[in-house]
């Protein structure tokens, strides 16, 4: 049996920083959507950085282990039982205990306060749907818990998985000293489209490396989407969350200025779904961009919770979801998209991958629309990013088009609020015209 692949992930450095700075004074909670590699990287960290560790997987541990957390008045007894059950010797201040998928035993999460105060060992929790109300009902969330979010592999991690450590440093130097890439651009764009197709879910990346076959990759992604359907059933047993999720590609494709909830759930009103949309966002399976009514530095102060666009957390999953109703052999989406010969306007896939990249680098997503002079159409800025005391507007195109009527109108409307640079992300080579920079999609990674 081949050894399990462990991909290099950037979150490892954050785990290391926590260990060094915390020195046992806090526990770390790593939260993120299912199947993004939380357990794998935390266990790899435990193997490398501690003398010993115990991983308690609450999805499959015995009832005896779960029951240990019902009463934490005698911690030494709990530690003794865990060492016997798992056959691991814990060493004071040199061992780690991992609470994997801790949402399945909320009392273990509540007990973190006592464990941290005891200070014998370090603790890392992992979980998905961690903030969903029913997973926190009736328990006290410990203040000793430091939380970090984990996302699907970003473009650099994806290149690392493919054994490529040269591309991103090259692109970084281009970002710092912008210039057209000429002949290299075509290959760089094709490489980036591969990332859009496979995505950053370790299961899908593994399938690609093992098979080099998009049908196998697509099957791996369909299994993850099935899991997400299950998760949405936990958030919302009525099935509405699953329907809202499934409709994301169609909603983006419709080019509407917001997610039209009533077209997915008849007679629905956006204001009635604010809480459910928030729960979906907390599940980390989707990225939400809210409408900013008055674009200024504090973008969040005028966000409209009833007007939003919804993106899928992983663009590889987005591609599969968009064509989920077809058997793989019926469509040639992968080959056509990879060679950039797809007839359908797939601008929404580029918009999704930009949303994914911006979210992973710590940006909260906002967009802005306002009526044109004729009031028959709307102007729209796809993404607004807060930069110092200014806002930076970003537009996304799926093609070589360099038209930017919305951007021009926005700059006329709010000249004092915006940065000196504005960006249009598209599929062609780098170009600078005045304050406007036309970025090939792979450079959006650095925004």
Confidence band for 133, pLDDT divided at 50, 70 and 90: low
pLDDT at 348: 86
CA 268, 270, 276, 281 dihedral sign is positive
pLDDT at 290: 94
CB of 291 closer than 8 Å to CB of 368: yes
For residues 6, 168, 319, 400, the Cα torsion angle rounded to the nearest 10 degrees is: -170
Span of 79-83, 87-91, 275-279 with lowest mean pLDDT: 275-279
Question: By C-alpha distance, which of 353, 369, 370, 380 is closest to 447?
Answer: 353
pTM score: 0.93
pLDDT digits (tens, 9 = 90+) for 98-111: 999 999 999 999 99
CA distances from residue 398 to 33, 279, 446 in whole angstroms, order as listed: 27, 30, 19
- Is it the case that residue 256 has pLDDT exceeding 90? no
Q: Which two tokens stand for residue 170?
A: 């090259």
- Is it the case that residue 329 has pLDDT exceeding 70? no
CB of 317 closer than 8 Å to CB of 224: yes
Beta bridge partners of 286: 312
**Pairwise pLDDT comparison (123 vs 295), residue with the higher score:** 123
Phi, psi of 145 (to 5 degrees): -100, 115
pLDDT digits (tens, 9 = 90+) for 376-393: 788 999 999 988 889 999
pLDDT digits (tens, 9 = 90+) for 304-324: 889 999 999 999 999 999 888
Span of 209-223, 350-364, 393-407 with lowest mean pLDDT: 393-407
All structural domains of the chain with their residue ranges: 11-149, 155-446
pLDDT digits (tens, 9 = 90+) for 202-254: 999 999 999 999 999 999 999 999 999 998 998 899 999 999 999 999 998 88
For every residue of 206-255, which 3-state class applies, written as one string? HHHHHHCCHHHHHHHHHHHHHHHHHHHHHHCCCCHHHHHHHCHHHHHHCC
pLDDT at 342: 60
pLDDT at 134: 65
Q: Residues near 370 by Cβ (< 8 Å), separated by ≥ 6? A: 378, 379, 413
- Is it the case that residue 401 has pLDDT exceeding 80? no
pLDDT at 130: 67
Confidence band for 1, pLDDT divided at 50, 70 and 90: very low
pLDDT at 301: 78
pLDDT at 407: 92
Confidence band for 135, pLDDT divided at 50, 70 and 90: low
pLDDT at 352: 95
Question: By C-alpha distance, which of 414, 346, 345 is closest to 379?
Answer: 414
CA distances from residue 364 to 144, 196, 204, 338, 354 in whole angstroms, order as listed: 25, 21, 26, 29, 12
Q: How far is CA 208 from the centre of its chain?
A: 20
Alpha-carbon gap, residue 190 to 340, rounded angstroms: 8
pLDDT digits (tens, 9 = 90+) for 38-52: 999 999 999 999 999
pLDDT at 302: 84
Core vs surface per residue 357-368: b (16+ CB within 10 A) or e: bbbbeebbbbbb
Alpha-carbon gap, residue 210 to 38, rounded angstroms: 21
Task: Give the pLDDT mean for 103-127.
Answer: 94
Phi, psi of 7 (to 5 degrees): -80, 145
| Collapsed DSSP state (helix, strand, coil) of residue 127 | strand
- Is it the case that residue 346 has pLDDT exceeding 80? no
CB atoms within 10 A of CB 446: 14
Q: Where are the beta strands (DSSP E) in 37-150?
A: 52-57, 95-100, 122-127, 145-149
Mean pLDDT of the chain: 90
Alpha-carbon gap, residue 298 to 302, rounded angstroms: 8
First to last CA, the chain: 42
CA 232, 239, 262, 276 dihedral sign is negative
In CATH terms, the superfamily for domain 11-149 is P-loop containing nucleotide triphosphate hydrolases (3.40.50.300)
Q: How far is CA 4 from the centre of its chain?
A: 23
CA angle 417, 423, 426 (to 5 degrees): 155
């Amino acid at each position: 049996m081949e050894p399990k692949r462990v991909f290099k992930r950037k979150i490892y450095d954050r785990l290391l920083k926590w260990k060094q700075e915390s020195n046992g004074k806090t526990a770390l909670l790593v939260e993120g959507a299912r199947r993004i590699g939380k357990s794998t990287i935390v266990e790899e960290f435990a193997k490398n950085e501690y003398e010993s560790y115990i991983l308690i997987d609450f999805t499959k541990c015995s009832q005896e282990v779960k029951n240990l957390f019902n009463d934490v008045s005698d911690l030494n007894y709990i530690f003794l039982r865990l060492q016997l059950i798992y056959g691991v010797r814990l060493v004071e201040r040199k061992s780690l205990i991992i609470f994997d998928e801790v949402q399945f035993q909320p009392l273990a999460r509540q007990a973190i306060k006592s464990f941290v105060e005891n200070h014998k060992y370090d603790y890392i929790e992992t979980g998905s749907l961690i903030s969903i109300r029913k997973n926190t009902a009736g328990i006290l969330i410990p203040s000793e818990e430091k939380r970090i979010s984990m996302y699907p592999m970003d473009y650099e991690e994806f290149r690392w998985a493919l054994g490529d450590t040269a591309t991103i440093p090259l692109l970084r130097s281009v970002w710092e000293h912008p210039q057209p890439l000429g002949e290299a651009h075509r290959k760089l764009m094709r490489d980036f489209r591969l990332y859009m197709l496979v995505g950053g879910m370790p299961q899908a990346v593994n399938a690609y490396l093992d098979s080099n076959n998009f049908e196998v990759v697509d099957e791996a992604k369909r299994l993850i989407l099935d899991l997400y359907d299950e998760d949405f059933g936990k958030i919302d047993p009525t099935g509405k969350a699953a329907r809202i999720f499934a409709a994301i590609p169609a909603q983006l494709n419709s080019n509407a200025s917001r997610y039209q909830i009533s077209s997915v759930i008849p007679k629905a009103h956006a204001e009635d779904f604010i809480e459910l949309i928030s729960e979906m966002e907390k599940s980390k399976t989707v990225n939400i961009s809210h409408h900013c009514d008055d674009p200024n530095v504090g973008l969040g102060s005028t966000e409209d919770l009833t007007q939003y666009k919804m993106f899928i957390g992983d663009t590889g999953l987005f591609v599969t979801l968009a064509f989920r109703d077809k058997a793989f052999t019926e469509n040639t989406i992968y080959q056509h998209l990879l060679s950039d010969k797809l007839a359908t306007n797939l601008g929404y896939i580029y918009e999704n991958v930009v949303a994914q990249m911006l979210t992973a680098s710590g940006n909260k997503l906002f967009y802005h629309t306002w009526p044109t002079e004729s009031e028959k159409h709307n102007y729209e800025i796809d993404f607004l990013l807060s930069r110092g005391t200014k806002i930076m507007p970003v537009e996304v195109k799926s093609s070589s088009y360099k038209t930017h009527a919305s951007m021009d109108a926005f700059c006329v409307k709010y000249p004092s609020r915006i940065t000196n640079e504005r960006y249009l992300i598209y599929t062609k080579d780098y170009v600078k015209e005045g304050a406007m920079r036309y970025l090939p999609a792979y450079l959006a990674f650095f925004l």
